[in-house]
């Protein structure tokens, strides 16, 4: 079920037991070549490198769009999700009576920090409680949407439990009541077949260094095509202008999502990331999901055989890519395993986070649990 031919492209797999793609996907060896290509362009052609780089950014928008089910023109890049969240928040009028944002209490912390940092603008955010500390029923959100709700911010996959949140029912109610929906797909894009277009969401964000094997610095923003042109970005810069090199006297945003790309792009990060996206598209997201579930079943079985609690939904339909295994001293265990070159991670309220990607072999999961046995016995 693994893809041995593709395993050869990830040299870290030769010298480690790699069970951490939910946090940092393995680096594809083609990325090294691609970064050199970027440098060669720059070194050989100087300022003319932009003639290669600008069309390259458009290719990136197309590839990433394919992964999340978005038309190329609806995708923008930035260095990280936090900036992109602020970019989206900047399109709302927080002094109006529709000034509330709903967000899960289990959300990835940066989303909460962004909202809290904006509270001086009139933005009021409401933490949506989880009934079990693991995940959410969509009704946790829909029951709280009112005519004061401006935005519902949802993590498709919860970072500390791997729980998936069902998006379409939330979009339906939000739109009926005039609110917008932003989904953070960081925990699922590339591992789970999803389509922002089918969901009908207004915005989606995510980044490339987890399941997409693309390294840091290549975060993306999707904006629903019919909203483009209606939204006025406040986080703005010259590279977002309709005609960049006309240097017009005033703001004239591009007609597509480039209007959200502010100033000079982080080209080198995109060069590295593109190899990851291409690999994901080559393997196929359905096939990746199937293999990730296969490895997850093994993790769950081996953990349960040892009497360990699974802090993730047990039903495949409600679980993302990693399995969270409740264990005391998870941080210390993560460290001890890393000394044996067994790579996973841990989080508060969660325990160990363990996952396989399309390149993971069953024997690696066994190696991890056998090492865990010896650590526990010590």
Ligand X SMILES: Cc1ncc(COP(=O)(O)O)c(C=O)c1O
Binding residues for ligand X, per CB under 6 A? 80-82, 108, 110, 155, 159, 184, 186-187, 207, 219
Specify burial of residue 335 (Cβ count, 10 A radius: 0-12, 13-18, 19+): exposed
Phi, psi at 231, each rounded to 5°: -95, 135
Beta bridge partners of 189: 192
Question: What residues contact residue 110 under an 8 Å CB cut-off, 6+ apart?
Answer: 81, 82, 85
Nearer to ligand X, 150 or 158 (CB): 158
Beta strands in the chain (DSSP E): 17-18, 75-78, 100-104, 124-128, 149-155, 180-184, 203-206, 219-223, 309-310, 322-326, 342-343, 345-347, 351-355
Nearer to ligand X, 159 or 271 (CB): 159
Considering the complex, state which of residue 233 and residue 241 has its C-beta at the smaller distance from ligand X: 233
CB of 288 to ligand X, least distance (A): 18
* Least distance to ligand X, CB of residue 195, Å: 18
Q: Which is nearer to ligand X, 186 or 369 (CB)?
A: 186
Residues present in the chain in total? 378
Residue 221: which of 170, 264, 178, 256 has the closest Cα?
A: 256
Nearer to ligand X, 241 or 351 (CB): 351
Contact 303, 320 (CB under 8 A): no
Beta carbons within 8 Å of 55's beta carbon, 6+ residues apart: none
Give the shortest CB-218-to-ligand X separation in angstroms.
10
Q: How far is the CB of 280 from ligand X (least distance, A)?
A: 17
Shortest approach of ligand X to residue 19 CB, angstroms?
A: 17
At closest approach, how far in Å is the CB of 269 from ligand X? 12
Nearer to ligand X by C-beta: 165 or 371?
Answer: 165
For ligand X, the closer of residues 81 and 365 by Cβ is 81
CA-CA-CA-CA torsion sign (230, 234, 239, 242): positive
What one-character DSSP code corresponds to residue 163?
B
- Residue placing its CB nearer to ligand X in the complex, 155 or 202: 155
Least distance between ligand X and beta carbon 155 (Å):
5
239 closest CA partner among 262, 219, 218: 262
What is the rounded distance in angstroms from the CA atom of residue 42 to the CA atom of residue 78?
21
Separation between Cα atoms, residue 367 and residue 30, nearest integer Å: 28
Nearer to ligand X, 83 or 138 (CB): 83
CB of 150 to ligand X, least distance (A): 20
Closest CA to 7 of 205, 366, 291, 235: 291
Pick between residue 260 and residue 369 the one whose CB is nearest to ligand X. Answer: 260
User: At CB < 8 A and 24+ separation, what contacts does 251-258 make?
Assistant: 255/73, 255/228, 255/229, 256/73, 256/74, 256/228, 257/61, 257/73, 257/74, 257/75, 257/76, 257/221, 257/222, 257/223, 257/228, 258/76
- Nearest distance from C-beta of residue 260 to ligand X, angstroms: 15
Question: Least Å distance between CB 307 and ligand X?
Answer: 29
Nearest 5°: phi and psi at 2? -80, 180
């Amino acid at each position: 079920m693994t893809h041995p031919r593709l395993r050869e492209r990830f040299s870290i797999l030769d010298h480690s037991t790699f069970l951490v793609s939910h946090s940092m996907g393995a680096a594809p060896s083609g990325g090294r070549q691609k970064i050199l290509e970027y440098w060669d362009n720059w070194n050989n052609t100087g300022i003319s490198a932009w003639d290669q780089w600008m069309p390259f950014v458009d290719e990136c928008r197309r590839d990433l769009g394919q992964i999340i089910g978005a038309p190329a023109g609806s995708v923008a890049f930035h260095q990280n999700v936090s900036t992109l969240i602020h970019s989206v928040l900047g399109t709302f009028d927080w002094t109006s009576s529709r000034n509330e944002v709903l967000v899960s209490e289990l959300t990835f912390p940066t989303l909460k920090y962004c909202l809290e940092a904006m509270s001086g603008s009139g933005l009021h955010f409401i933490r949506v409680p989880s009934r079990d500390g693991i995940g959410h029923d969509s009704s946790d959100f829909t029951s709280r949407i009112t005519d004061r709700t401006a935005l519902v911010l949802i993590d498709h996959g919860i970072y500390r439990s791997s729980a998936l949140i069902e998006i379409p029912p939330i979009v339906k109610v939000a739109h009926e009541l005039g609110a917008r929906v932003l989904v953070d797909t960081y925990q699922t894009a590339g591992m789970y077949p999803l389509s922002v277009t089918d969901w009908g969401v207004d915005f989606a964000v995510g980044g490339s260094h987890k399941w997409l094997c693309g390294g840091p610095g290549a975060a993306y923003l999707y904006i629903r095509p019919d909203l483009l042109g209606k939204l006025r970005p406040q986080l703005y810069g010259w590279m977002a202008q309709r005609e960049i090199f006309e240097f017009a006297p005033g703001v004239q945003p591009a007609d597509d999502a480039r209007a959200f790309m502010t100033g000079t792009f982080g080209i080198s990060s995109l060069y590295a990331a593109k190899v990851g996206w291409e690999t994901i598209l080559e393997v196929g997201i359905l096939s990746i999901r199937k293999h990730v579930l296969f490895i997850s079943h093994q993790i769950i079985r081996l953990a349960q055989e040892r009497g360990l609690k699974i802090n993730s939904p047990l039903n495949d339909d409600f679980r993302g890519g990693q399995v969270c295994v409740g264990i005391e001293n998870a941080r210390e265990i993560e460290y001890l395993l890393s000394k044996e070159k067994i790579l996973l991670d841990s989080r508060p309220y969660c325990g160990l986070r363990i996952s396989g990607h399309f390149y993971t072999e069953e024997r690696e999961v066994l190696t991890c649990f056998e090492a865990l046995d010896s650590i526990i016995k010590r």
